[in-house]
């Protein structure tokens, strides 16, 4: 009985996961103040205040960045991706321009269901349409979970960098 129940739960979870992948809708945000986008951004970057997010969201759309939200079958937004086309040097790349993943977030209950993979595939299609041959991204050195996600999505680590600064005397 227990084994049968465990198998049933596994099969049900697998079916729900597949249903999410097959019925997930990926759409642009409703605008620069889209509450679902704002909520997801706030979870990825909790240190930023709402006005800062709203300013960055408006800027991203004004600059033509690629922004998409992924919705679960019930219509709730569960993930987002933001990507930009960079023409400056991007660490670890060998071409220019490059599409850069500025942010990628998947809500915990939607993880490991193909949501990030689907969003990155959408970014890759946009990158190809932009004439780019590389996708790039970064992650804090201590964020091993993000490193594993990047590797799972086909990214390769290119370098590790420590930034320094020094004030200019007399300025």
Residue extents of the structural domains in the chain: 2-152
Report the top-level CATH class of 2-152. alpha beta
**By CB neighbour count within 10 A (0-12 exposed, 13-18 middle, 19+ buried), where does 146 fall?**
middle
Using only C-alpha atoms, the chain has a radius of gyration, in whole angstroms, of: 19
- Which residues are within 8 A (CB) of 48 and not within 5 positions of it... i.e. 6 or more apart? 41, 42, 56
- Tens-digit pLDDT profile for residues 74-124: 999 999 999 999 999 999 999 999 999 999 999 999 999 999 999 999 999
Residue 17 has pLDDT above 90, yes or no: no
- Tens-digit pLDDT profile for residues 127-148: 999 999 999 999 999 999 999 9
Q: Report residue 159 as tokens.
A: 């370098």
The DSSP bridge pattern shows strands 98-106 and 135-136 to be parallel
Nearest C-alpha neighbor of 108 from the set 47, 39, 43, 48: 43
- Tens-digit pLDDT profile for residues 21-53: 557 999 999 999 999 999 999 999 999 999 999
């Amino acid at each position: 009985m227990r084994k049968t129940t465990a198998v049933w739960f596994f099969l049900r979870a697998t079916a729900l996961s597949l249903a999410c992948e097959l019925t997930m809708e990926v759409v642009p945000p409703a605008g620069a103040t889209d509450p679902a986008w704002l909520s997801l951004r706030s979870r990825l970057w909790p240190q930023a205040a709402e006005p800062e997010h709203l300013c960055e969201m408006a800027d991203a759309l004004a600059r033509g960045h690629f922004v998409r939200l992924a919705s679960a079958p019930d219509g709730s937004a569960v993930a987002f991706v933001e990507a930009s086309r960079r023409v400056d040097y991007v660490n670890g790349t060998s071409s220019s321009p490059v599409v850069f993943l500025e942010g990628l977030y998947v809500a915990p209950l939607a993880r490991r269901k193909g949501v990030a993979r689907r969003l990155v595939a959408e970014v890759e299609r946009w990158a190809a349409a932009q004439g780019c041959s590389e996708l790039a991204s970064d992650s804090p050195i201590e964020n091993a979970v993000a490193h594993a996600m990047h590797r799972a999505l086909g990214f390769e680590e290119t370098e590790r960098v420590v930034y320094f600064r020094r004030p200019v005397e007399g300025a």
